[in-house]
Amino acid sequence: MTNEEFQVLILAEIKSLRQDMTERFDQVDQRFIQVDQRFDQVDQRFIQVDQRFDQVDQRFIQVDQRFDQVDQRFIQVDQRFDQVDQRFIQVDQRFDQVDQRLDSIDNRLSWLEKHEESDIIATLMVINNKVNDLHEMFRSVSEVLGDHELRIRALIRRPV
């Protein structure tokens, strides 16, 4: 082999090596492109996961807001129960006042019953004594006028 042939052969080998290396670099570049695409896909998936986390965070925020609303409602209901409790206390106090008034009236009625009973008994005794006195007077008048009364009745019955 001559030097020129050897150079041509070496140049062909170098060219072949360059082509092989270029192909290999192209393959490596393709692999890097594929790896980049896979990284892009992974990034997209991370972006989707981040978006889902954001959605979950939003839902938690909404749930927290709803809990706050429920807490506010509980506070309002508790305040209303306090108001109702105050009203019951006021009504209970009024019932106590009415009970006291009824007790006072009952005591007065009891006192009046005791005194009225004795007044009624005394009045009945006075009436009884008066009736007895009238009965005695009627008897004495009947005895005195007994004979005259029979004659008056007889005159009234006679035909005219």
The pLDDT of residue 86 is 93
Query: Nearest to residue 110, comparing CAs of 121, 122, 99, 102?
Result: 102
Q: Work out the percent of the chain whose per-residue pLDDT is above 90.
A: 52
In single-letter form, the type of residue at position 80 comes to R
Q: pLDDT tens, 103-130? A: 999 898 888 777 777 888 888 899 889 8
Q: Looking up tokens 């009973």, which residue turns up?
A: 117
133 domain residue, yes or no: no
Does 44 map to a domain? Answer: yes
Determine, yes or no, domain membership for 26: yes
DSSP state of 159: -
Q: What was the pLDDT predicted at 90?
A: 93
- Cα–Cα distance list, 13 to 26, 27, 28, 41 (Å): 19, 20, 21, 40
Please say if the pLDDT value at position 66 is more than 90: yes
157 part of a folded domain: no
CA atoms within 13 A on the CB side of 31: 6
Question: 43-60: per-residue pLDDT in tens?
Answer: 999 999 999 999 999 999
How much is the pLDDT for 76?
95
Q: Would residue 91 count as lying in a domain?
A: yes
Q: How many domains does the chain have?
A: 1
Q: Domain of residue 90: give its range.
A: 1-120
Contacts of 149 (CB under 8 A, 6+ apart): 142
Question: Does any domain span residue 27?
Answer: yes
In a domain, 7, yes or no: yes
- Would you say residue 141 lies in a domain? no
Say which residues have a Cβ less than 8 Å from residue 9's Cβ, sequence separation at least 6: 1
